[in-house]
Amino acid sequence: MKTGSIISYILAAIFIVLSFLFILGSFSPDGSPSWLVIGIIGLILGFALIFAGVRLAAKAKDLAATYTLNVDLPGNVQLDTVTCKACGSPLDSSDVKIINGAPMVECHSCGTTYQLTEEPKW
């Protein structure tokens, strides 16, 4: 997804530079007026590619956001009714941290940490 948008940006830059040269050339004595038309079409294509690149980047961002949401959701559900074993204060998803790749719950009141895999014993 990211590579796709980078390629469109590079193509857009090439299109815009070439179109600019065509437009400049159409005003020079050696140039032909039809180059102006080619240049304008090239510019439009270049901006269309930038637009496509932005769309691709936004799509990639959406996918990343969805992924984060999927990770957060099980934590939210599991911790809904969980309270701290040491002090009894309710724990929520903001207390969940990933430590060494394992999901850990750190109580915001007393600082006790639990591993999420121990959750059924609570």
Tokens matching residue 53? 């690149």
Which is nearer to Zn ion, 30 or 121 (by Cβ)? Answer: 121
Which is nearer to Zn ion, 41 or 86 (by Cβ)? Answer: 86
83 forms bridges with which residues in the sheet?
A: 90
d(CA 48, CA 101): 42
DSSP 109: T
Q: Are 68 and 62 in contact (CB under 8 A)?
A: no
Binding mask 36-75 for Zn ion (x = CB under 5 A): ----------------------------------------
User: Is 113 one of the binding residues for Zn ion (CB under 5 A)?
Assistant: no
Start-end of H helices in 1-122:
2-27, 34-78
Binding mask 70-109 for Zn ion (x = CB under 5 A): --------------x-xx-------------------x-x
Tokens matching residue 115? 């591993």
Q: How far is the CB of 114 from Zn ion (least distance, A)?
A: 9
Q: Which of 110, 113, 117, 119 binds Zn ion (CB under 5 A)?
A: 110
Which is nearer to Zn ion, 56 or 84 (by Cβ)? Answer: 84
Which residues of this protein are in contact with Zn ion, per CB under 5 A? 84, 86-87, 107, 109-110, 112
